[in-house]
Amino acid sequence: MDLNKIIILGRTTKDPEIRKTEGGTNIASFGVATNNKYKDKQGESKEDVEFHNVVAFSKLADIIGQYVKKGQLILIEGRLSTSSWEDKEGNKKYKTDIIAEKMQMGPKKEGGVDKEN
> In the prediction, which pLDDT does 106 show?
85
Domain residue spans in the chain? 6-109
CA distances 111 to 11, 72, 79, 82, 114, Å, are 18, 14, 34, 39, 8
Classify residue 13 as left (phi > 0), alpha (psi -120 to 50) or beta.
Answer: alpha
Look at residue 48 and tell me whether its pLDDT is greater than 90. Answer: yes
> In the prediction, which pLDDT does 110 show?
59
Question: Which residue type occupies 86?
Answer: E
Summarize the confidence of residues 18-25 as an average pLDDT: 93
pTM of the entire predicted model = 0.82
Look at residue 35 and tell me whether its pLDDT is greater than 70. Answer: yes
> In the prediction, which pLDDT does 109 show?
63
Classify residue 8 as left (phi > 0), alpha (psi -120 to 50) or beta.
Answer: beta
Summarize the confidence of residues 8-23 as an average pLDDT: 95
User: How many Cα atoms occupy the beta-carbon half-sphere of 37 within 13 Å?
Assistant: 1
Centroid of chain to Cα 104: 12
Average pLDDT, the chain: 91
User: Which class in CATH covers the domain with range 6-109?
Assistant: mainly beta
CA distances 85 to 43, 79, 104, Å, are 43, 20, 32
